[in-house]
């Protein structure tokens, strides 16, 4: 038989085979037909090799016919295959959603530390409320850590048992409130800043205490600022943090550098205030301390500045502080504070 | 502080029904949910008055509340103090305890003498004499009250002094007058190692820093802390010297620390007791003693300071109150609340109120703002509206904050986990001299809780190696870490160190990955006209903490106008030295780096300028150059970048692209093949292959000449 005849016959067979396989939804038959006719060693390829048999003057035409055949059969195969796809779902495919990528091909994935993520979240919310992020030193002097925060000279927290001292006038700050003092010393009111940072207290390290931990301190000084502004600001903050409808409440408390002082609670984000294990059935969780800046602090700042920039008759302000570890522990259900500074990779991957 | 409700009710003028109603009213006023049990509800009310209720033992009127009394309120370390609070928030009248006594016979000074040698530590000492008492068990009501506080009743005299401590917050001490040598009391400092036997337990030897109450010969008590054995009231006692005194809080605290002792008495003196309440406490005790143990109270008392400084008047401006509190409180309510706390209302005008605070609050009610807090607290913080009309501005991120954020994103995106390690470290750990060769700053000995947390780190590397070790021990997988943290570097002549913000990195996957991540930091920071490079240190300057062949300085390069560049070394990178790996017992020698972060934050960074994308296709040509091992990639790169400016067909915006390095037998020993690619492009037309080939040939010829190189076959 001449090549031309073979081509014609094969064309008919192939079209029938593709169509049949497509109609029956028989993927295996379709694949076998593809290999037989248009595969790398298929019949069409074999015809190409036989072009030499064809008289020279007919070669271009036969060549073109072969190309056309290849295109036609490829289209027919693809058409059959798409019918196949519609008729029956693939059983094995390159798009398996359940099979994980082999470890060596998985791109490495790092993470920020849970404390960083918690601080970042607070920071972003408070920035939206107009608070600028500032920093202060971790090694402080007595004036910034105690004196100017209205902590009396004989207060127990000044003992070397309650504060880490390096020398007589160098200590590790026991609260980020020191940054309040440093900011007011260098800037004039109005002022709205937050100071996230590391603080130190000589506590015995156990599941709920550490000698190194983190706080975020906030300070706002302006004219006519009241406790209502404090509560309003914190209300906006907790709604941003835990969602709309979160409520805030104050309980009277005592801090040397604020008066009036309060503990702030918010309605339990886990149960919306109904009562659950997170809030020990009270419906409320503790957030931190807050209050109105004590006029004695303003006076100490004025004294340090040598002016009357923070006249307590003109300016008032509020301050608040959060314990970062406590927030992160509650959020993630972490029961051991030591995990934060230990950096077990299993913990860092998990949280 | 335990608060038995039965005892509390001794001072509240209300029957069961009135009390229950007052509690319900207060709940409604403060918008609190009452509990099924009035004791729990009362606990909640105390919480919202500033005395956090930690627990309720029992229920109903027999319950005992456990309340937190904060350090500014020592006056509430007693039942009467808490009763005043309750009366204020429940709006109930109070019943005062009885202080009247019947004195008779000779003056107290007839029976005993007293000298105070240290009036600073003991600002007031009083003594009463009660003669002819009969020591025996206390009546049931007294025993019940002490038991409710967790105390064991002893005898009527001792029980009465304890009762006064819990009733009035005034610790007292009763001596057997006949056992005091010379019937004298001398308040003085102890002599060094002076013998003293306390009533119970053992104490370290006395030192002259300790204030003692002595008789004519020897110490019979440690002032304000504990009585001594031998002079105490016993069943045989008939005559009593009753001490009511005041001690300096700081001295009491220091003595307790030194002696490792603490009593209900010292707890109160440490926080401060009412110097003007001394006579009241003494009279109340004497009255009870005469009532329960008989005896006659001698006339008057020995008193070292009968006239302490008087109280000062205080004014409260209503406008100021409302401005700070954020709620308008009616003037009548303000004065009612302050009166309920014991303030004497001296004068009232439309604008302000003048009061005399009660003696027991002379320390914490000393300024207008103190009164404001009292009114706000008792009016109820729940009445503060959560509104703010403050205007806000959106403060930008500081360059330092932005730089740290970007560094964190960069390394976490590249698969590094951020860690946060303690700044307090073990000074015995091997200390890599990354920033300083000096030992880390040590905490004062007294401040040290744990030796392994007793110094301030001066590099992050030590913490990162510890973290690697921990993860190695726990088999948690390949360790790749970074930390942004402070290191503390001593500054000569200054008490406080430099706090340097640095970036620490540790990578078990090896040098190449870490070096690449660091070099690409300038991308993350969107630096303009600056980048980082790694340079081997000058010979002889390799730090001991890095393996010598791997050590690199991290160098910050700033391009200056013209051809100038400023280069500063800002850190180290390399493989941790074998000695360090051995010291930390590490199985894999990690690649580590430590970089001064602040030097990155100060560089000019984004937003980067847009450069229009080229409209013509690129013509890239690859070169594989066989050179001596000694030829560094940077040299080839510098040459090709320089040559770029001489070749008109090279695209000036396209940097030389590094492809690979190959070493093998075919090349011969000491040779390597460096492959890279350069781009030819004209701004306005397509280049022909011929043009490009000609230009490229010229370039390659120059290359081969310069580096004495060959093209790879």
pLDDT tens figures, A84-113: 766 555 555 667 777 777 777 777 789 999
Residue with tokens 């001593």: B490
* Distance, CA of B46 to CA of B5 (rounded, Å): 12
Q: With an 8 Å Cβ cutoff, is A90 touching chain B?
A: no
pLDDT at B540: 81
Which of A133, A222, A250 has its CB closest to that of B384? A250
A132/B414 Cβ within 8 A: no
Domain at B314-382: CATH architecture: 2-Layer Sandwich (3.30)
Once rounded to an integer, what is the mean pLDDT over residues B574-593? 94
Respond yes or no on whether the N-terminal peptide bond of residue A40 is cis (omega within 30° of 0).
no
- Angle in degrees, CA A144, A147, A153, rounded to 5: 140
Burial class (CB in 10 A: 0-12, 13-18, 19+), B201: exposed
CB < 8 Å from B in window 216-255 of A: 220, 222, 224-236, 248-254
Residue ranges in chain A whose pLDDT is less than 70? 1, 85-94
Domain at B103-303: CATH architecture: 3-Layer(bba) Sandwich (3.50)
The answer to whether B359 and B280 have CB atoms below 8 angstroms apart is no
**A306 CA: distance to closest CA in chain B (Å):** 23
Once rounded to an integer, what is the mean pLDDT over residues B569-596? 94
pLDDT at B456 over 80: yes
pLDDT at B412: 95
The answer to whether B323 and A226 have CB atoms below 8 angstroms apart is yes
Q: With an 8 Å Cβ cutoff, is A333 touching chain B?
A: no
Probe site for chain B from A110, A144, A263 (most B CB atoms < 10 A)? A110
**End-to-end CA, chain A:** 74
Once rounded to an integer, what is the mean pLDDT over residues B45-74? 93
pLDDT at B320: 95
Q: With an 8 Å Cβ cutoff, is A125 touching chain B?
A: no
pLDDT at B62 over 70: yes
Question: Does domain B2-90 match CATH 3.30.56.10?
Answer: yes
Closest by CA to B421, choosing from B324, B474, B487, is B487
**B243 CA: distance to closest CA in chain A (Å):** 26
* Distance, CA of B396 to CA of B428 (rounded, Å): 43
* Distance, CA of B93 to CA of B253 (rounded, Å): 36
Which of A205, A220, A254 has its CB closest to that of B70? A254
pLDDT at A44: 85
Q: With an 8 Å Cβ cutoff, is A116 touching chain B?
A: yes
Using DSSP's 3-state secondary structure scheme, residue B246 falls into strand
- Angle in degrees, CA B348, B349, B350, rounded to 5: 130
A228/B387 Cβ within 8 A: yes
Nearest residue of chain B to residue A132 (CA atoms): B395
pLDDT at B627 over 80: yes
Using DSSP's 3-state secondary structure scheme, residue A50 falls into helix
CATH of B399-601, one of 1.10.8.100, 3.30.930.10, 3.90.550.10, 3.40.50.2000: 3.30.930.10
pLDDT at A65: 80
Probe site for chain B from A128, A137, A141, A166 (most B CB atoms < 10 A)? A166
- Angle in degrees, CA B280, B283, B289, rounded to 5: 140
Domain at B619-711: CATH architecture: 2-Layer Sandwich (3.30)
Confidence of residue B278 (pLDDT cuts 50, 70, 90): very high
Once rounded to an integer, what is the mean pLDDT over residues B195-201? 85
What residue ranges do the domains of chain B occupy?
2-90, 103-303, 314-382, 399-601, 619-711
pLDDT at B409: 95
Nearest residue of chain A to residue B449 (CA atoms): A202
Chain A residues with CB under 8 Å of B270 CB are 156
Once rounded to an integer, what is the mean pLDDT over residues B25-44? 93
Beta-carbon count within 10 A of B638 CB: 12
Residue with tokens 């007011």: A184
Once rounded to an integer, what is the mean pLDDT over residues B448-473? 93
Which helix (H) or strand (E) segment holds residue B225: the answer is: none
**B180 CA: distance to closest CA in chain A (Å):** 34
Q: For A17-26, A275-284, B298-307, B478-487, which range has the lowest pLDDT when averaged over its residues?
A: A17-26
Q: With an 8 Å Cβ cutoff, is A113 touching chain B?
A: yes
What are B105-156's pLDDT values in tens digits?
889 888 989 999 999 999 999 999 999 999 999 999 999 999 999 999 999 9
Query: Is the sign of the CA dihedral B405, B407, B408, B413 positive or negative?
Result: positive
Nearest residue of chain B to residue A172 (CA atoms): B443
pLDDT at B230: 86
Which of A111, A231, A340 has its CB closest to that of B417? A111
* Distance, CA of A223 to CA of A314 (rounded, Å): 6
pLDDT at A172: 93
pLDDT at B528 over 80: no
Q: With an 8 Å Cβ cutoff, is A103 touching chain B?
A: no
Nearest residue of chain B to residue A194 (CA atoms): B395
Extract the tokens encoding B293.
């143990």
Identify which has the larger pLDDT, B460 or A208: B460
Closest by CA to A203, choosing from A320, A99, A83, A325, is A325
Mean pLDDT of chain B: 91
Probe site for chain A from B364, B384, B445, B460 (most A CB atoms < 10 A)? B384
Chain B residues with CB under 8 Å of A139 CB are 456, 488, 496-497, 499
Q: Which domains does chain A have, with CATH numbers?
A: 3-87 (no CATH), 114-350 (3.30.930.10)
Q: With an 8 Å Cβ cutoff, is A212 touching chain B?
A: yes
Chain B residues with CB under 8 Å of A346 CB are 474, 476
pLDDT at A40: 82
pLDDT at B444: 87
Do the interacting molecules here have an ipTM over 0.95? no
* Distance, CA of B708 to CA of B710 (rounded, Å): 7
pLDDT at A330: 86
Which of A227, A340, A342 has its CB closest to that of B470? A342
What are B496-525's pLDDT values in tens digits?
999 999 999 999 999 999 999 999 998 888
Chain B residues with CB under 8 Å of A233 CB are 388, 390
């Amino acid at each position: 038989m001449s090549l031309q005849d073979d081509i014609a016959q094969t064309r008919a067979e192939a079209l029938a085979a593709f169509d049949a396989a497509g109609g029956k939804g028989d993927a295996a038959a379709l694949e076998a037909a593809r290999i037989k006719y248009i595969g790398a060693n298929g019949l069409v390829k074999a015809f190409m090799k036989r072009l030499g048999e064809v008289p020279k003057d007919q070669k271009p035409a036969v060549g073109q016919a072969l190309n056309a055949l290849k295109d036609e059969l490829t289209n027919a195969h693809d058409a059959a295959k798409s019918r196949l796809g519609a008729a029956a779902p693939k059983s094995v495919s390159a798009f398996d959603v359940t099979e994980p990528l082999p470890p060596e091909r998985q791109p490495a994935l790092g993470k920020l530390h849970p404390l960083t993520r918690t601080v970042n979240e607070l920071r972003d919310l408070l920035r939206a409320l107009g608070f600028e992020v500032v920093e202060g030193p971790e090694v402080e002097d007595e004036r910034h850590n105690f004196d100017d925060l209205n902590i009396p000279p004989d207060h127990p927290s000044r003992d070397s048992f309650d504060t880490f001292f390096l020398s007589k006038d160098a200590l590790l700050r026991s609260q980020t409130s020191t940054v309040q003092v440093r900011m007011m010393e260098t800037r004039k009111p109005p002022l709205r800043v937050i100071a996230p940072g590391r603080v130190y207290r000589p506590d015995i390290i156990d599941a709920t205490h550490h000698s190194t931990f983190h706080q975020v301190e906030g300070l706002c000084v302006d004219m006519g600022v009241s406790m209502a502004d404090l509560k309003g600001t914190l209300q906006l903050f907790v709604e941003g943090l835990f969602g709309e409808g979160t409520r805030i409440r104050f309980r009277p408390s005592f801090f040397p550098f604020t008066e009036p002082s309060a503990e702030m609670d918010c309605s339990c984000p886990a149960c919306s205030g109904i009562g659950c294990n997170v809030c020990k059935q009270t419906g409320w969780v503790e957030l931190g301390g807050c209050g109105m800046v004590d006029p004695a602090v303003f006076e100490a700042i004025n004294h340090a500045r040598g002016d009357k920039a923070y006249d307590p008759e003109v300016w008032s302000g509020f301050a608040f502080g959060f314990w970062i570890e406590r927030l992160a522990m509650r959020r993630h259900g972490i029961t051991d504070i030591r995990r934060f500074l230990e950096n077990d990779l299993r913990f860092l991957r998990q949280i | 502080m335990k608060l038995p409700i039965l005892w509390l009710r001794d001072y509240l003028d209300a029957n069961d029904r009135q009390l229950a109603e007052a509690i319900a009213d207060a709940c409604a006023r403060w918008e609190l949910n009452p509990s099924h049990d009035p004791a729990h509800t009362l606990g909640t009310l105390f919480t919202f008055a500033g005395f956090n209720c930690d627990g309720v033992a029992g229920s109903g009127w027999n319950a005992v509340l456990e309340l937190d009394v904060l350090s500014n309120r020592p006056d509430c370390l007693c039942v009467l103090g808490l009763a005043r609070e309750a009366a204020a928030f429940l709006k109930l009248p109070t019943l005062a305890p009885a202080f009247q006594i019947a004195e008779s016979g000779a003056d107290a000074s007839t029976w005993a003498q007293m000298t105070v040698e240290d009036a600073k530590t003991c600002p007031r000492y009083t003594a009463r004499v009660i003669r002819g008492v009969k020591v025996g068990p206390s009546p049931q009501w007294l025993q019940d009250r002490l038991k409710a506080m967790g105390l064991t009743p002893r005898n009527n005299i001792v029980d009465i002094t304890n009762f006064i401590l819990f009733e009035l917050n005034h610790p007292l001490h009763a001596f057997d007058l006949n056992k005091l040598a010379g019937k004298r009391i001398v308040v003085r400092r102890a002599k060094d190692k002076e013998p003293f036997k306390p009533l119970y337990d053992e104490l370290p030897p006395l030192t002259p820093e300790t204030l003692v109450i002595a008789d004519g010969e020897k110490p019979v008590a440690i002032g304000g802390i504990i009585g001594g054995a031998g002079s105490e009231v016993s069943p045989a006692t008939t005559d009593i010297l009753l001490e009511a005194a005041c001690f300096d809080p700081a001295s009491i605290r220091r003595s307790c620390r030194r002696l490792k002792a603490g009593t209900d008495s010292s707890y109160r003196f440490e926080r401060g007791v009412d110097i003007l309440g001394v006579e009241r406490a003494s009279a109340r005790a004497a009255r009870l003693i005469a009532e329960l143990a008989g005896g006659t109270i001698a006339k008057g008392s020995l008193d070292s300071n009968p006239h302490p400084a008087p109280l000062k008047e205080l004014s409260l401006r209503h406008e100021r109150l409302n401005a700070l509190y954020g709620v308008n409180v009616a003037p009548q309510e303000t004065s009612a609340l302050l009166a309920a706390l014991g303030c004497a209302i001296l004068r009232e005008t439309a604008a302000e109120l003048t009061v005399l605070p009660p003696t027991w609050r002379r320390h914490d009610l000393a300024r207008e703002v103190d009164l404001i807090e009292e009114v706000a607290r008792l009016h109820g913080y729940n009445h503060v509206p959560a509104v703010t009309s403050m205007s806000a501005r959106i403060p930008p991120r500081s360059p330092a904050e932005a730089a740290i954020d970007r560094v964190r994103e960069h390394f976490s995106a590249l698969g590094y986990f951020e860690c946060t390690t303690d700044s307090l470290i073990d000074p015995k750990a091997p200390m890599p001299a990354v920033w300083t060769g000096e030992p880390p700053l040590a905490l004062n000995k007294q401040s040290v809780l744990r030796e392994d947390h007793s110094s301030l780190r001066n590099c992050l590397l030590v913490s990162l190696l510890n973290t690697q070790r921990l993860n190695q021990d726990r088999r948690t997988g390949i360790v790749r870490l970074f930390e942004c943290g402070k290191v503390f570097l001593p500054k000569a002549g200054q008490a406080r160190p430099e706090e340097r913000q640095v970036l620490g990195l540790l990578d078990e996957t090896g040098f190449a990955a870490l070096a690449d991540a660091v070099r690409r930091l300038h991308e993350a920071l969107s630096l303009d006209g600056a980048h980082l490079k790694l340079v081997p240190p000058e010979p002889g300057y390799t730090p001991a903490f890095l393996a010598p062949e791997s050590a690199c300085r991290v160098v910050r390069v700033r391009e200056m106008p013209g051809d100038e560049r400023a280069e500063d070394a800002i850190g180290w990178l390399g493989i941790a030295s074998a000695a360090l790996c051995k010291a930390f017992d590490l199985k894999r020698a990690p690649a580590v780096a430590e970089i001064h972060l602040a030097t990155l934050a100060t560089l000019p960074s984004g937003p980067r300028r847009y450069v229009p994308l080229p409209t013509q296709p690129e013509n890239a040509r690859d070169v594989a150059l066989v050179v001596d091992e000694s030829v560094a990639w940077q040299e080839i790169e510098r040459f090709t970048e320089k040559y770029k400016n001489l070749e008109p067909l090279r695209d000036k915006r396209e940097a030389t692209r590094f492809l690979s390095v190959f070493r093998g037998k075919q090349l011969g020993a000491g040779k390597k093949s460096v492959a890279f690619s350069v781009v030819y492009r004209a701004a306005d037309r397509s280049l022909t292959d011929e043009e490009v080939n000609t230009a490229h040939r010229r370039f390659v010829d120059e290359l081969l000449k310069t580096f004495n190189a060959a093209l790879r076959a």
